Structures are given as structure tokens and as C-alpha cells.
Structure 1
Amino acid sequence: MVSGLINENPTVYERKERRVRTDSTNTDEDIRDPEHPYSLEQLKVLTEDSVEVDDFKSYVRVTFTPTVEHCSMATIIGLSVRVKLMRSLPPRYKIDIRVAPGSHATEAALNKQLNDKERVAAALENPNLVEMVDECLSPSFE
């Protein structure tokens, strides 16, 4: 992962029991934190309540809460969530990724960056960013 951690000792929570899935999609649904060997769920960066899905309108909104207000990895976290959804959902879905209100020092800039198609496309052309995102999305072997 990354050296020089922003939040060296994050609070780690129990994983929630999940419903059994009946389809054949990827069974490892966790997205790992870019700095720690924990999932975003274990760090309460993401919760079930932070995901809104409107199948009728083909709309998904994910609101995440970084562990610290000045988290430098917030962009990577948001990009990882977006890429996971882009790979998992049909292309008809509009994906909206947001930082929880009041949870980050540059909330407005992050929200704009994470939802701008050109900025996201440019980020996904950067091999270093793609490598970080892929690491966050790779299966864990717990």
C-alpha cells in the first residue's frame, strides 16, 4: 500500500453479514482502502445506507465518508467506487459518487472531480492511478 499514512490508526468495524447473491457476478464485493489492509466497509467509509439505487431511473448514488477530513486518498477511493460500479452495472446506469457533507476539507472539488466524465476518463488513462484502483478492487485473501 502507501507509505506515510494519513490516518495511521483507523477505527476498524465488524463486517456486516450480507445477503446471499443468486446471480453469477463477482462474489468479492469489497473495495479495499488504498492505505490500509481493510475494506471500505470495515472502516465505515461505505455502508449499505450510503448507497442509493433507483432501478426505474437507472440511477445509483454512493456517498462515502473518508476516515479523516483531509484524506489525500479520497479521490482514489471515489474513483475505485466508480470503476467498481462501471464494471458491475449495465451502461444505462448514471453513477453519482459523493463525499458525505462536511466529511472532507475539499468536498465540493472532490464531488466535481468524481462526477466529471472527462476528468474520470483522463484519470483512467493514467497507468499509476489505474494500478492503484485495481489494487483497491483486487480480491483480498482473508
Structure 2
Amino acid sequence: MSPALINANPVVYEKKERPVRTRPGDAAFDEYATELIDQLEDPEHPYSLEELKVITEDAVEVDDKRSYVRVTFTPTVEHCSMATIIGLCLRVKLMRSLPSRFKVDIKVAPGTHATEDAVNKQLNDKERVAAALENPNLVDMVDECLTPSFE
């Protein structure tokens, strides 16, 4: 957790109970992708992105035939400084878990972040993502988000 929280008192919602699954065959990637990202932890708080409603089932679109996944997330506050980190966590989780045939598109929900266009551009630029993943501090933050909490 960060010492100076952007959103010190976020609203926390109940997390949906889901069975733990292994990666499916070529079918059922929509449910699998949703389950993957629901496991991510917030970079600032000891809650999952699902518990903070940063990500919801409706925000994950999977087109298995076109090998395409779009995730639209909603930061808890309009000026969230962690929006790019959250998007990077989503991208890395899906890149590591889905077959390489999938193209992943990560977006901030329209009208939910002050610098929405800049965040979206950074999250969907391969060179910027690659550069971010060369930064050991960012990789540590991403890995922390990807580590499931069993509390």
C-alpha cells in the first residue's frame, strides 16, 4: 500500500464467489478472462479490483472467433494516479494467461478519468508497455497486483 493514498476511503463491494478453474480449451474464454482479472489486487488498497468495482463482469468483452479481448475499467476517482498501473496489471495478467492469439485492448471507461485519452494511449501502445515492463519498480508493482490474496 502507498503511504499517501489518492482515495483513502474507497467504497468496498462484495466479491462474487467463483470456483477456481484452470485454463480452458478454446471454448469458454469469456468466463475465464473475467475470472482472471477478478483476482487482481488494487495497487493502493488491500482489496481486489472487483471489490472496488474498478472491474466488473460486464466490462470484459471476449470475441473468441476474432481472438480479441477488451477490458474497460473504472478508476475509483477521476484523478487516480494508479490508472496506468491498474491497466498494465490487467494487460499483463491477460497476456500471461490467455493464448498468444488473443489481442488485448485495455481502456478506461469513458468520462471516468481526467487523463483518459493519455492513459488509453499508453496502455495500448506496444512500445510503451514493453518499456514499462523493463522498469523493475513497475514490474514489482504489477507482480504485487497479480499475487492473489487469500485473506
**In 2, Cα distance between equivalents of 1:7 and 1:82:** 23
1:41-120 matches, cutoff 5 A? 41-120=50-129
Q: Which runs of 5+ in 2 are unaligned?
A: 25-31
Q: Which has the higher helix share?
A: 2
The alignment-based identity, stated in percent, is: 77
Q: Structure 1 residues 20, 133: CA separation in 2 closer, same or farther (over 3 Å shift)?
A: closer
Runs of 4+ in 1 over 4 A off after TM superposition: 22-25
**In 1, Cα distance between equivalents of 2:149 and 2:19:** 19
How many residues are aligned here? 141
**In 2, Cα distance between equivalents of 1:34 and 1:102:** 22
Secondary structure at the aligned position of 2:71 is classed as strand
Q: Which runs of 5+ in 1 are unaligned?
A: none
Q: Structure 1, residues 114-139: CA drift from partner, whole Å, max 9, x if none? A: 00000000000000000000000012
Q: TM-score, normalised by structure 2?
A: 0.88
Deviation, 1:18, is 2.3
Alignment correspondent of 1:10: 10
Q: Which moved more, 1:58-67 or 1:12-21?
A: 12-21
Q: TM-score, normalised by structure 1?
A: 0.94
Deviation, 1:16, is 1.3
Match of 1:125 among 131, 134, 139: 134
Deviation, 1:22, is 5.9
Deviation, 1:141, is 2.4
Secondary structure at the aligned position of 1:39 is classed as coil
**Does the alignment pair 1:135 with 2:151?**
no
**Does the alignment pair 1:38 with 2:44?**
no
Deviation, 1:21, is 3.1
